[in-house]
Chains A and B, each alone.
Chain A
Amino acid sequence: MPLSTASNFARPDDAFRAIVEAHRGLNDEQSADLDAALVLILANHIGDVEVLREAITLAKHRVIDQQQQQQQQ
């Protein structure tokens, strides 16, 4: 099964806010720890290493594109 990038939440704003609010009151270090745990929990829930690799590729593209844009500016 390929990575789904269609909108899967009936109320996407709820999901986004839930993640944002989870970080409220945490310092950068704690936030990073939370993200690491969250990534592992969700990756295991997906349980498909090919989907995981696709997700990593997609996420990493964003980071690298951003980096290149910053360098051009």
Chain B
Amino acid sequence: MQVKLICDGRREAAGSGMTQAKTQFGYRRHPDQDRIGADTAEHPVVVVGAGPVGLSFAIDLAQRGHRVVLLDDADRIGEGSRAICFSKRSLEFWDRLGVGDRMVDKGVVWSVGKIFHGASQLYQFNLLPEPGHKRPAFINLQQFYAEAYLVDRVEELPDISLRWRNKVTGLQQRNDRVVLTVDTPDGPYALHAAYVIACDGARSSLRQMVGAEFSGQVFEDQFLIADVRMTAAFPTERWFWFDPPFHTGRSALLHKQPDDIWRIDLQLHPDSDPVAEKKPENVRPRIARMLGHDRFEFEWISLYKFQCRRMDRFVHGRVIFAGDAAHQVSPFGARGANSGLEDAENLAWKLDRILRKTSPEGLLESYHIERSAAADENIRESTRSTDFMAPTTQQEARLRKAVLALAKDTEFGKRMVNGGRLSVPSVYDTPLSSADVDHWRGGPRPGASMPDAPVAARGAPIFLTEAFIKCGTHFTLLAFGNGAACEAPDGVSAIRIGGEGGLTDSEGLASFRYDAEPGTAYLLRPDGYVAARFRHPTPPALDAALARASGLN
């Protein structure tokens, strides 16, 4: 197959045999490589790893006005689809980075999942059953497309220096900086960085360099991922089978991607021979049984076992870990790439403030608190899904059998069936939040992310998430007008709903989703999370909440 990703300085390489979409980048010598000793280049931020997390983080920080060096040890994008499900929250983040439309235009939009047991359907769920959101619950998009679009965006930002085939081989922490040794085709060079952001994946070499533990649970079950190319009339839904007729006693997943590619995920027996299982001639008949025909080609086959684990500390001095480098989950629930993107979003605004010295370095601790709790939640959820799919004891298998049987007739049984609980943004229990003082019947509580809603600006429809981006993704006061609006503190943007010159809540959904009354105001953090909310805000209360959310107390 030929996936065309044509850009300056880039050529596409199609693999032989089983083809893989790849984008090749050129190594370019950087003037930093000629600077030695006392002249060694100094940078505020060096990001290691140009995957979705590192690229997104670099773009966010550059858009906030900082210079970023982004290193990657490879020189290409490719090697199969890997992550395919990107969540609403990730799309809203990418909207802020200016790449959301490209992702959604190319991606396959979906929100419905179906669960089957044997030959019959047990139930279906809809992850976004209500209208009035800019972004869908999920899109499916091959990771290489997401990375290619992010690289294109990086190339528009002169503050990012993206360096391929730059491999970090040494790391030394000093009081005021990190000294990196970087190997290149032209030999090694040194870089000094005030902060190093490690986004170098599950096998992170930076994690080893700081001597951090990475322990957790290893799952013995093996799964086989095959991306196949075919034209099929299956709907764009996530289909999950327990004990399907074509794969007795195991589980299976079918999911659509762009370009007529379908992701198939089959659970294998723990004692399967990996070499034999991966051979196309052995995979083909199994998938033919699943699809009922063999008119498909393989794009990618990969066999994997997985682990659920995380680092004890995400912040090691001046080296900060994000994405798979910091935590790993099973793939059921789309919690890998999406949680890494949430890491990037959480860290970027905090590091921005620290570099500008508007917040103390201690603000980084909130990154660890918020994102390690999110990692725990993701590990817990994905471990439960995995255990349900692959029960480890006879009694666990017996209970699962009972749940599947009860699911045929009862609502509670359906809800206990766990074929993957899909990624939703975490609600943070964090020192940056100011606790509610007023009475609320709904709306996002402090520590939750902002819900979207359709509004209008002088008659023109716009979404709240778009209004937030237009405000510059700073601290923002979302105020529901009553004519006597409270002034936003210095440096805080304002979105006003209702009142003179404010946005119109034409469908009443903004008020409903925020449990708003006249005078209600939400203080939003630069990542769109609620820091505090008030029925009738006063300047001292707003100032206190702002100071708390900035890590100033």
Binding site for B on A (CB under 8 A): 32-33, 36-37, 39-41, 44
Interface of A, secondary structure class, is helix
Q: Would A40 and B413 count as touching, CB distance under 8 A?
A: yes
Bound together, the chains give a CA A41 to CA B409 distance in angstroms of: 12
Complex interface: chain B residues within 8 A of A37 (CB): 402, 405-406
CB distance from A57 to the nearest CB of B (A): 18
Chosen A-B contacts, 6 in total, with CB atoms closer than 8 Å, are A33-B398, A36-B398, A36-B401, A40-B403, A40-B413, A44-B410
Contact A40 B399 (CB under 8 A): yes
Would A41 and B401 count as touching, CB distance under 8 A? no
B-side interface size class: 10 to 19
The contact string, 1 if C-beta is below 8 Å from chain A, for chain B 386-407, is 0000000001001101110110
| Highest count of chain A CB atoms <10 Å: which of B395, B398, B410 | B398
- In Å, the complex CA distance between A40 and B413 comes to 8
Measured CB to CB, the closest approach of chain A to B388, in angstroms, equals 13
B410 proximity list for chain A (CB < 8 A): 41, 44
Complex alpha-carbon distance, A36 and B404, angstroms: 12
A-side contacts of B402, CB under 8 Å: 33, 36-37, 40
State the CA gap A41–B399 with chains docked (Å). 11
Within 8 Å by CB of A44, from B401, B405, B412, lies: B412
Partner-A contacts on B (CB < 8 A): 395, 398-399, 401-403, 405-406, 410, 412-413, 416
Chain A nearest CB from B72 CB (Å) reads 46
Indicate if the CB atoms of A33 and B416 lie closer than 8 Å.
no
Q: B413 — nearest CB in chain A belongs to which residue?
A: A40
* B406 and A40 form a contact (CB under 8 A): yes
Chain A residues positioned under 8 Å from B401 (CB to CB)? 33, 36
Contacts of A39 in B (CB 8 A): 399
The 5 A-B pairs of least Cβ separation, nearest first, read: A36-B402, A37-B402, A44-B412, A36-B398, A36-B399
Shortest Cβ distance from A32 into B: residue: B398
Looking across the interface, which residue of chain A has its beta carbon closest to that of B403?
A: A40
Residues of B within 8 A of A44 (CB): 410, 412
- Extra pairs beyond A32-B398, A39-B399 (18, CB < 8 Å): A32-B395, A33-B401, A33-B402, A36-B398, A36-B399, A36-B401, A36-B402, A37-B405, A37-B406, A40-B399, A40-B403, A40-B406, A40-B412, A40-B413, A40-B416, A41-B406, A41-B410, A44-B410
Q: Which residues of A contact B398 (CB under 8 A)?
A: 32-33, 36
Chain A residues closer than 8 Å to B405, beta-carbon distance? 37
